[in-house]
Chain A
Amino acid sequence: MIALLARDLALAIRAGGGFGLGLAFYLIVSTLVPFAVGPEAAVLARIAPGILWVGALLACLLSLDRIFQLDFEDGSLDLLATAPIPMEGTVAVKALAHWLTTSLPLVIAAPIFGALMNMPAPGYWWIFVTLLIGTPALSMIGAFGAALTVGLKRGGLLLSLLVLPLYIPTLIFGAEAATRGIGGFENTTPLLLLAGITAASVALLPFAASAALRINLR
């Protein structure tokens, strides 16, 4: 399984763009929003956590189809399915690789982009923490969606349609925890719920995703 993680990371680095593309997209989204709502600092500061969360979610979505698609096309997935690694492990490792290459850079960049939107100082910390807790769920749910659509020729749009509704609870609790934290309110409850969604997704979704993969390999 470590071998698989190492390979996926190596592939992401060599292909280039793996880290960069999602990050660039995130930057663009964060830049476009002020153009759309106006440069007023108070307004931007108020909507910043929401925008940063939605932006992270969309940037994460961008690379989901690559989690399994390439391995499906070149036959690796068939071979992995007959290998001694359980399919659930393959799914979990690939979701982890996606998190490391796509989501983690977003988590790190979010506070910087927050500065673009005049986010108050506690915001840097809270947006970082909530995204750090929440993005593993985004990667894992995304891997499930990718497993459902891996056999389809034009699965990209469908993947978004399937995955985005599943992102709603994570988004609500994540953005709520960040907003409350910035406002100086108590935010333990949404943080715990966010962590709960992440824990449950990481623990249970590999089974659903590997079932979907096996169905698609038939």
Chain B
Amino acid sequence: MSDMHRTKQARDRWNFLWEWANPVKFMWFSGRVLPWLIAATVISLVASLVWGFFFTPEAINFGSSVKIIYVHVPTATVAVSAWFMMLVASLIWLIRRHHVSALAAKAAAPVGMVMTLAALATGAMWGQPMWGTWWAWDPRLTSFLILFLFYLGYMALWAAIENPDTAADLTSVLAVVGSVFAFLSRYAVNFWNQGLHQGATLSLDKEENIADSYWIPLVIGIGGFMLFFVTMVFIRTRTEIRLRRIHALELRERMADA
């Protein structure tokens, strides 16, 4: 009861924002925006990758392998952002019970996982010629591996639970608790690798000593991958909403038979 009351109050104040949490509104809105999003994604991705791959000078001591940063850095950025987006969406679901929010979190997880994997893979490809090893237990690399595990667990929990609302609730609780532990892990990993094993610090922090000519296409690339993420989440959320609708219709039919 109080829930309804709160919803009503908030509706008056945040009307413009929460309206998009209505599945029907969301479908209408996302349907109109998607073509533009897709276009913007393609343009910015092509621009940044072409610029980055073919029109930036080769670094003297890095060779052409440095150009993988135009995939590596944006995917890594999106991988972390996607988890944050899932955390926020989960909180919105837990507090406000907007179905679109829960479904958007579900939709974002595989995208975030693929981004994490891409960041890890490009990191390895870059690390090979750079440091002569595919993998180092560098704090950053390790953190991304852990993030990957969190994505796996989150998606597995979604897949395991039949009732969609129960699944949304439990995965949201996991996202909240998992975020705390993911953050702790990040800190722990930093601590762990500057521990007894000194000297083995391979830093991926290239941003600070990167020249402008590399920087601009990189920023465009980050924007492009972000747009790609948003586009994918929109498409996948639309799919999830349609699946829920089918599920609801089937249930209704079964109820009518009973």
Interface residue count on the B side (C-beta < 8 Å): 28
**A155 at the binding interface (Cβ < 8 Å):** yes
Minimal Cβ-Cβ distance residue in B for A144: B177
Task: Decide if B166 touches A179 in the complex (CB within 8 Å).
Answer: no
Task: Decide if B177 touches A166 in the complex (CB within 8 Å).
Answer: yes
Task: Decide if B157 touches A148 in the complex (CB within 8 Å).
Answer: yes
**B134 at the binding interface (Cβ < 8 Å):** no
Q: Which residues of B contact A211 (CB under 8 A)?
A: 173
Task: Decide if A148 touches B196 in the complex (CB within 8 Å).
Answer: no
Expressed in whole angstroms, the Cα–Cα distance for A193 and B156 within the complex equals 30
Once A162-B174, A208-B176 are accepted as A-B contacts, the answer to whether A176 and B192 lie under 8 Å apart by CB is: yes
Which among B146, B152, B173 is the interface contact of A168 at CB below 8 angstroms?
A: B146
Give the secondary structure class of B's interface: helix
Task: Decide if B184 touches A212 in the complex (CB within 8 Å).
Answer: no
Expressed in whole angstroms, the Cα–Cα distance for A155 and B176 within the complex equals 20
What 1/0 flags go to A137-156 for Cβ under 8 Å of B?
00001001000110110010
Question: B: which residues have CB within 8 A of A?
Answer: 146, 149-150, 152-153, 156-157, 160-161, 166, 169-170, 173-174, 176-178, 181-182, 184-185, 187-189, 191-192, 195-196
Question: A: which residues have CB within 8 A of B?
Answer: 141, 144, 148-149, 151-152, 155, 158, 161-162, 164-166, 168-169, 172-173, 176, 179-180, 183, 185, 189-190, 193, 197, 205, 208, 211-212, 215-216, 218
Q: Can you add 14 more A-B contacts, CB < 8 Å, to A172-B188, A208-B176, A216-B170? A: A152-B160, A161-B152, A161-B153, A161-B156, A162-B174, A165-B178, A176-B191, A176-B192, A197-B184, A205-B177, A208-B173, A208-B177, A211-B173, A216-B166
